[in-house]
Amino acid sequence: MILGVTPAEKYVAAAYGIVFLVVLVYVLIIALKLGRLERELDELTGVVRERREAEQEQREEVPVG
């Protein structure tokens, strides 16, 4: 028995394909943004560490008491 594909089945398959592609593109865009945000966070963390180290070096110890 040979099964024929009706036009309705073709439209349903096309709709599922389009939805799949849209979701895939969305996930890729989110992944790219996440990567960029992680790089920016690493850069900002480095800047904060450098500033803290510079402040530690500039501070002078004062006896208490």
Distance CA 62, CA 56 (A): 13
Query: Which pair of structure tokens corresponds to residue 9?
Result: 């089945």
Low-confidence ranges of the chain (pLDDT < 50): none
Q: Would you state the pLDDT for residue 3? A: 78
Q: How far is CA 22 from CA 8, 16, 18, 28, in A?
A: 21, 10, 6, 10
Q: How far apart are CA 43 and CA 2, in angstroms?
A: 62
Give the per-residue pLDDT at 39: 98
- In the numeric block, the tokens 């009706």 are attached to 6
- The number of C-alpha atoms within 13 Å of 7 and in the hemisphere containing its C-beta is 0
